[in-house]
Structure 1
């Protein structure tokens, strides 16, 4: 991820095709050693590709991924009574856990 971030920073700065040495210099400026194997793989994967097109393509793919909001809303409807009983059980467990400290708090 750090290699990709450095690549993107260099691209935003106007370097259309950052080299491995360019990326190493960005990473070393903040005290990070570059992993040569990962760096070479990144350069090979991005060679000759337009970074703006890749970001746009990734955004469309990401938009098609379902989010947790849709699944979370459907879960109680599908679970019915079992889902309604779960919060009551969780509250009972929380009470039991709070008794474990035997009256001693972290800052007492």
Structure 2
């Protein structure tokens, strides 16, 4: 992840195709050492692709990943099956969560 972050920083800074040396130099400037094999693997995977293409490809892959909580999905499925208990449980959970504050914050 650190190699990818460094790569993207260099691209944002105007370097269209950062080299392994560029990335190593950037990471070294903040005291981070890296694995050359991983860096070379990343550069090989990014070879011939623009950052925009890589981000677009990643976005399509993320679109297929479920990001909703499993509890809500289970409750929705039960409600669709005709049960009303999950809706009542959700109301109870909301009430319980609002009672947890007790008038003071974490950093007070």
**TM-score range normalised by the length of the shorter chain:** 0.5 to 0.7
What is the RMSD of the two structures over their aligned residues, measured on CA atoms?
A: 2.4
Number of residue-to-residue matches in the alignment: 84
When Rg is computed on C-alpha atoms for both structures, the one with the higher figure is 1
Unaligned 5+ residue runs, structure 2? 93-108
Tell me which protein shows more helix as a share of its residues: 1
Aligned position for 1:54: 54
Aligned position for 2:21: 21
Q: Which gives a bigger RCO, structure 1 or 2 (Cα 8 Å, sep 6+)?
A: 1
If the length of structure 1 is used for normalisation, what is the TM-score? 0.66
2:36 and 2:73 map into 1 onto residues whose CA distance is: 46
**Offset at residue 81 of structure 1 (A):** 9.4
1:30 and 1:6 map into 2 onto residues whose CA distance is: 11
If the length of structure 2 is used for normalisation, what is the TM-score? 0.66
Aligned position for 1:102: none
TM superposition outliers: structure 1 runs of 4+ over 4 Å:
79-84
